[in-house]
Amino acid sequence: MTLSSSGTVWNFAAGPSRLPDAVLARAGDVLFRRGADGAAVIERPFTGNAVRAVLESARERLTQLLDIPANYHVLFLAGGAMHQFSAVPMNLIDPASGLRTAAYADSGYWSRRAMREAARFAEVSVVARHDGSQALAAPAEDNWRLPQGCAYCHITANETVDGLAYPAWPNTGDVPLVADTTSSFLSAPLDIARFGLVYASAQKNIGPSGMTVVIVREDLLRRPAQSAPSPLCYRLQAEQDGCLNTPPVMAIHLAALVFQWIAESGGLSAMAEANRRKAELLYRAIDGSDGFYTAPVIAAHRSITNVRFHLADVSLTERFLSDAEKAGLIHLRGHRHVGGLRASLYNAMPLAGVTALVNFMAEFKRCKG
Amino acid sequence: MTLSSSGTVWNFAAGPSRLPDAVLARAGDVLFRRGADGAAVIERPFTGNAVRAVLESARERLTQLLDIPANYHVLFLAGGAMHQFSAVPMNLIDPASGLRTAAYADSGYWSRRAMREAARFAEVSVVARHDGSQALAAPAEDNWRLPQGCAYCHITANETVDGLAYPAWPNTGDVPLVADTTSSFLSAPLDIARFGLVYASAQKNIGPSGMTVVIVREDLLRRPAQSAPSPLCYRLQAEQDGCLNTPPVMAIHLAALVFQWIAESGGLSAMAEANRRKAELLYRAIDGSDGFYTAPVIAAHRSITNVRFHLADVSLTERFLSDAEKAGLIHLRGHRHVGGLRASLYNAMPLAGVTALVNFMAEFKRCKG
């Protein structure tokens, strides 16, 4: 592989994805070096003080970053967002209290996956979807008609595959708003109080795969969750501080390092500002290419973390990908369900990576345009 | 902490537990060093060839170690054994085919936890338990009366808390035998063909916590598994080679390193021989202590991985633990449900650690006996 002029290879994968250099540099020592007690952290009992301190520190750091209100529980659970696709209805549907229906907004690939899984465990009502116009957009956030006996309303805050995001949160009144925030989590501040439950799998802005953050409002833990496997039951896990069974210590410890890196880098407002600048640079390159590149999502609903675009001449796509790879710009292929191109610009991607990409795009256009 | 005379601290934790030195030494580089493609393995898409090769190599190495027959699927799933406590009934109970009942053998703490969870999703029938005599033992493995419409029969091959193991497998005829082998997995060869399904969470002989190995016979994948969350559904995961959703790559990669270490150390028969010698040394020290130390399990049913014992004078227990810690022998406290002492001697514990322990025990007896 020929490196870009900076000598660096930039990894634009949608997740698992690039981690902060500072975290990678420390991770081996933190996880695998034995301490004075003869044990590395991953060799210690999870019931002991040392591991509990790791879990507590991860929780405290995340609570500070997001300013999570005191009436929410923060859980670090094994598995991915897909585990939560089932866990959410299993925990929140409560037929005995008349809460039989789950409302879902259809905004793209992952919201439909979540909905399909929920339909195995609940009556699902689609309460919002894209308006059918040609330009891609998230559902408009007003005028949602929630069904009677609605246990919760689920949105996918940022659609990783489709490259679109909600510009504002819908108002669901007394019905708890549940959000899969996997690919936007920690990319910007998030007003947790707007939600009944927020979840995000790790492999975007949190760390390697294998763990999912669940932030759940206390009152929702009173629902019976009769059909949920115990380790997927929010109440049981909250009662045991996420340690009903052995937690994925390695993934949680790395998350704590990432949380620390975010705090030291200025916190979530600094992340948001940097992410906005990166996305702006790339979208401007696309929009200013005289139609050589196009982005299918309307401007107000464009994701700042997953920038989706394509070449007007789709026959150039494979050449673009192979030339980009030669220039040290990798994993730019769009998801197989939508095709085209996608650059994921999570927190760990510096502006320099995006600059390298837009420079390459200009050069590619100069040669092929 | 004062070190033992060898200068080493020995960690006897029941899991998460000691990992092989050679694996710890390589782990940081293997997981966190970026390659020529600009990405560390945990930063790469799980759908790409590089990560698929890691998963495939883990599977092949385990298949070779255990000589797994071709009609079994090997899955590396997120979560712990407790996830399987629910997944087993959710996948294997099949009321439409008349398979409504799950048979469980009660051999101690973890089999009762598994049974309690299964009872949330199936009719559970206890088909065997300890005979009620004073000495602890696993249920005798013959004369089990399996109920009509029995979907499977579950045993806990090695009881980590109680320190006992089955000396031979029960014969369950056509009813699939399902075994939680968490704390004995890879401690010795295992005849997979005797089982319909074997599972083991990682944090004993496989690697850090966060992953569970499931080895399932092909014919069992035909059961409908209607109530199983998709990522816990064996059929869906088997159809996607364990990649229905993003797998816990970090934990699987470390497992592959451990599998390689076992192979290079002589394979499972060498592990079994080393484990037998370690356990023999410790049980001999207990049995030869003129009653100062006692082991509660009958000789034929004693676990070789979790050696449970106590002091005849229980008032000495705390002193034993604090003196042991000063001597560099840590995590010897028995599980809170049974008290006393426990030394876990998984593959990564060398004979030198057990020698240090028996020397300390002799010295402690000399001072206090």
Per the structure block, which two tokens stand in for A287? 């929009």
Asked whether residue B6 carries a pLDDT value surpassing 70, the answer given is no
> Which residues 6+ apart lie within 8 Å of A289 measured at CB?
A361, A365, A369
Contact A82, B79 (CB under 8 A): no
Place of tokens 């949105």: A155
The pLDDT of residue B130 is: 83
Strand pairing category for B211-217 and B197-201: antiparallel
What pLDDT band is residue A131 in, cutting at 50, 70 and 90? Answer: confident
Query: Are the Cβ atoms of A227 and B227 closer than 8 angstroms?
Result: yes
DSSP string computed for A232-262: G-HHHHHHTTT-SS---HHHHHHHHHHHHHH
**B329 to chain A, closest Cα gap in Å:** 9
The pLDDT of residue B320 is: 98
CA B268, chain centre distance (Å): 14
Average pLDDT, chain A: 95
Percent with pLDDT over 90 in chain A: 93
The whole-angstrom separation of Cα B202 and Cα B76 is 9
Residue type present at position B187: S
Q: Is A297 on the interface with B (CB under 8 A)?
A: no
Query: Are the Cβ atoms of B245 and A82 closer than 8 angstroms?
Result: yes
Active site residues of B: 110, 180, 204
Contact B211, B203 (CB under 8 A): no
The pLDDT of residue A141 is: 81
Report yes or no for ipTM above 0.90. yes
Closest by Cβ to B46, choosing from A37, A90, A209: A209
pLDDT tens for residues A266-301?
999 999 999 999 999 999 999 999 999 999 999 999
Count of C-beta atoms within a 10 Å radius of residue B53: 11
- Closest residue in A to B331 (Cα) is A45
- Closest residue in A to B245 (Cα) is A82
Per the structure block, which two tokens stand in for A151? 């246990």
Domain limits, chain A? 25-264, 267-368
Query: Are the Cβ atoms of B45 and A211 closer than 8 angstroms?
Result: no
Asked whether residue B145 carries a pLDDT value surpassing 70, the answer given is yes
Side-by-side strand order, sheet with B72-78: B72-78, B211-217, B197-201, B177-180, B150-156, B101-106, B123-129
Consecutive H or E run containing A78 = strand A72-78
Q: Which of B285, B287, B282, B330 is nearest to B306 (CA)?
A: B282
The whole-angstrom separation of Cα A280 and Cα B251 is 37
Place of tokens 């210590």: A249
Contact B314, B337 (CB under 8 A): no
> Which residues 6+ apart lie within 8 Å of A221 measured at CB?
A73, A234, A235, A238
The pLDDT of residue B369 is: 79
Backbone φ and ψ of B156, nearest 5°: -105, 105
Per the structure block, which two tokens stand in for B192? 């997979």
What pLDDT band is residue A142 in, cutting at 50, 70 and 90? Answer: confident
Q: Is B68 on the interface with A (CB under 8 A)?
A: no
Contact A177, A141 (CB under 8 A): no
Domain A267-368, CATH among 3.40.50.2300, 3.90.1150.10, 3.40.10.10, 2.40.420.20:
3.90.1150.10
Q: Is A75 on the interface with B (CB under 8 A)?
A: no
**A143 to chain B, closest Cα gap in Å:** 32
Query: Are the Cβ atoms of A209 and B249 closer than 8 angstroms?
Result: yes
The pLDDT of residue B132 is: 76
> Which residues 6+ apart lie within 8 Å of A118 measured at CB?
A85, A86, A88, A89, A102, A104, A124, A154
Where helices occur in B35-119 by DSSP H, the ranges are 49-66, 81-92, 109-118
What pLDDT band is residue A1 in, cutting at 50, 70 and 90? Answer: very low
Equal fold, A25-264 vs A267-368: no
Query: Are the Cβ atoms of B43 and A13 closer than 8 angstroms?
Result: yes
Asked whether residue A5 carries a pLDDT value surpassing 70, the answer given is no
The pLDDT of residue B49 is: 93
The whole-angstrom separation of Cα A311 and Cα A306 is 17
The pLDDT of residue B1 is: 41
The whole-angstrom separation of Cα B293 and Cα B361 is 9
**B316 to chain A, closest Cα gap in Å:** 22
B interface test, pick of A230, A252, A254 with most B CB neighbours within 10 Å: A230
Strand pairing category for B164-165 and B158-159: antiparallel
Residue B109 three-state SS: helix
Consecutive H or E run containing B36 = none
The pLDDT of residue B5 is: 52
Q: What is the mean pLDDT of residues B8-15?
A: 95
Average pLDDT, chain B: 95
What is the CATH class of B25-264? alpha beta
pTM value surpassing 0.90? yes
Query: Are the Cβ atoms of A42 and B34 closer than 8 angstroms?
Result: no
The whole-angstrom separation of Cα B8 and Cα A36 is 10
Q: What are the strands, taking DSSP E only, across B252-321?
A: 293-294, 306-311
Q: What is the mean pLDDT of residues B322-331?
A: 97
- Dihedral, CA of residue A346, residue A350, residue A356 and residue A361, to nearest 10: 30
